[in-house]
Structure 1
Amino acid sequence: MGKDAAVALLRFIDHVAITVADVDRTTQFYDRLFGAEVPFDHAPDGCTLVRTVIIGGAVRINVHQQGNGIDLVADRPTPGSVDICFRFGGTIREAEELLKGHGIEIIEGPSPRIDNEGNQAQSVYFKDPDGNLVELMTND
C-alpha cells in the first residue's frame, strides 16, 4: 500500500496512554475538570494496572500505573513525560475560568496558536498531578 492510500485510511487518534504515579489521583483530577467515565479497569488481584478513562464524554486516555509490568508500552513509560493538547469547545476565557475555578495554575497563555486545520487558535497550558503538560486549545 502506498502512502496516499494509507493517508486516506488514517481517521483519528483513538486514545493516548499516559503513565502515572497514582491511577486514582489522575482519574479524580480529570474527573474534576471535565467529568470522567471509567468503562474499564484492568485490575488483576484488585490492583489497578491500567484504567480506561473517557473525559468530556469523547476523549479516551488509558492511564497506566507506573511499574505495572505490562510489556506493550513506550520505551520510557514515566510519569510527567506526556504533552497533550485537547480541543476545547468553549472560549479561551472559559478555559481560563475552568482552570482557575479548580485552583489549577495556568503556566502559559492565552497564547496564539494554529490548529491542525491551519486556523487561528488560542491555548492555555497547565500541568496534571504527574507533571504532564496539558494544553486546552480553542478557536474562539
Structure 2
Amino acid sequence: MIDYLDHLVLTTANESACVDFYTRILGMKLESFIGGTPPVERKAFKFGNQKINLHIKGREFEPKADIPTPGSLDLCFIADRPLTEVIALLAKERWPIIEGPVIRTGATSKINSVYVRDPDQNLIEISESIG
C-alpha cells in the first residue's frame, strides 16, 4: 500500500539554529511555501526527492502530531558522498560525532554510519551504503 516517504515534520525550539544545521551542516535547501490550516508561510528543508517540513514549538500548524516535541526524532540519511568526506566536513565545522563510524542495517543494504545531534538534540545518523 505505501510506496515511499514524501516528507516528515520536525518540531524545533530554535528556528535559526535548526535552519543553520540542516542547511549549512547537512547541505539541505531551505524552501518557503504556503500551507497548513489556515494557510500561512511555512518552511521546509529539501533534499533529493524528499523534504522535512518545519514546525516551531508553540506555533505548529494544523493538523499536527498530538504531542509535537523537539528532540524526539531519530533520523537516518544516506549521504551523497563517501562517509570519510562527511566526517571531514563535520570536523571542519566542529560538529561533534557522538558515535561511529559503525556498521548498521539500513532499509536496503548494510550501511556505514556516524551519529550526531541537531540543535534540538534529535539523533541524526549519516550513512553510506556498503552493499
Q: Establish whether TM, by shorter chain, passes 0.5.
A: yes
TM-score range, shorter chain: 0.7 to 0.9
Hey, what's the Cα distance between the residues in 2 that align with 1:51 and 1:39?
6
TM-score, length of structure 1 as denominator length: 0.78
Distance 1:62 1:110 in 2: 28
Indicate the structure with greater strand content.
2
Alignment of 1:5-24 (within 5 A): 6=1, 10-24=2-16
Question: How far apart are the structure 1 equivalents of 2:23 and 2:14?
Answer: 14
The match for 1:123 is: 113
Q: Matched residues, percent identical?
A: 33
C-alpha distance in 2, partners of 1:36/1:120? 24
Q: What does residue 74 of structure 1 align with?
A: 65
Evaluate the alpha carbon distance shift between residue 131 and residue 24 of structure 1 in structure 2; reply closer, same or farther with a 3 A threshold.
Answer: same
Written as runs of structure 1 = structure 2, the 5 A alignment for 1:1-140 is: 6=1, 10-41=2-33, 50-55=42-47, 57-117=48-108, 119-140=109-130
Q: Which amino acid aligns with 1:24?
A: S
Give SS of 2:55's match: strand
Paired residues, number: 126
Aligned counterparts of 1:68 and 1:115: Cα–Cα separation in 2: 34
Cα root mean square deviation, aligned: 2.1
- Which secondary structure state, in structure 2, belongs to the residue aligned with residue 35 of structure 1? coil
Bigger mean CA offset, 34-43 vs 119-128: 34-43
Q: Structure 1: 5+ residue runs without aligned partners? A: 1-5
User: Structure 1 residues 16, 128: CA separation in 2 closer, same or farther (over 3 Å shift)?
Assistant: same
> Counterpart of 1:136 in 2: which secondary structure?
strand
Residue identity in the other structure for 1:124: V
Point out the more displaced range, 64-73 or 78-87. 64-73
Say which is worse superposed, 97-106 or 65-74, in terms of deviation.
65-74
Name structure 2 gaps, 5 residues minimum. Answer: none
The alpha carbon displacement at 1:50 in A equals 3.8
AA in 2 matched with 1:88 = A
Larger mean Cα displacement after TM superposition, 79-88 or 93-102:
93-102
- Contact 1:49 1:68 (8 Å CA) reproduced: no
Question: 1:101 Cα deviation (Å)?
Answer: 1.4
